[in-house]
Amino acid sequence: MYKIFPLRSLTYLISFLTLTVFLVIELATDAFGFEVRLLAIPGIVWVILLGFAFNPIWRKIWSWSAKIPFIPDLNDKIFPDLNGEWEMLLESNWSRQEQILEAAKDGRRSFDIKSCDQNDLEPLMQVGLKAEIEQSWWSIKITVTNPRQDTPIKESQTNIVIPRKKSEGQPSSLCYFYDQTNDTDNQADDPEFSASACLSYDYKRDILEGTFWTERQWRRAMNTAGRLTLKRM
């Protein structure tokens, strides 16, 4: 999650913390008469930063900020704490892929997806999944499973996750790449493929939503794409 901060901001933070530790040591020396070597300051700053980055500590601070009226909610001002389990609704254009394939096989039927009316398109295929987000200051991992096992989708795991901080009217968001495994032996399908998604966080509703796209069966021009909506469980 540290990636949401530009290098300049991190430099300012470390400089400010170093100066604060130095002033505290000076005041303590004058007040209590004990001395702390200045060479110890970098070590003290490093311990403070590591302690703050420890998951139970920063998550508790984020939780307090949402409850105390006169403190800005860090979930909104910096980046949300997304740790936990989420209900995922996947809406795929696979149903429209099948619509095209069926029309191609039926010589008596004409269907032009480029010019047809929106009402003539099949509804997006909906699949209910479960996502688990593991978030720390060093990394974010998203694992998706299919508890119902009602589609070939088996599971997926992220390999790159890029968090983006709220700015200029744009909400906080996640863009990520993931590898998906399908439980299928159909030669017209891929048991494994890569994909990506970009999700925006709605602070007031506490949901993630956005789009995804895959390289599934790209050689046959059958790539899938669609919408994702995640609600916290």
Give tens-digit pLDDT for 200-228. Answer: 999 999 999 999 999 998 888 889 999 99
Give yes or no for residue 38 having a pLDDT over 70.
no
With 80 as the cut, is the pLDDT of residue 78 above it?
yes
Distance CA 142, CA 213 (A): 16
Is the predicted pLDDT of residue 17 greater than 70, yes or no? yes
In whole angstroms, give the CA distance from residue 87 to residue 51.
31
Q: What does the domain layout of the chain look like in residue ranges?
A: 2-77, 84-232
Percent of the chain with pLDDT over 90: 48
Contact 165, 172 (CB under 8 A): yes
- Answer whether residue 41 shows pLDDT above 80: no
For a pLDDT cut of 70, what percent of the chain falls above it?
93
pLDDT: is 102 or 27 the higher one? Answer: 102
Residue with tokens 């390289």: 215
Q: What are phi and psi of 36, to 5 degrees?
A: -125, 125
C-beta of residue 142 within 8 angstroms of C-beta of residue 98: no
Looking at residue 222, its pLDDT comes to: 86
pLDDT of 183 above 80: yes
Residue-level pLDDT at 18: 82
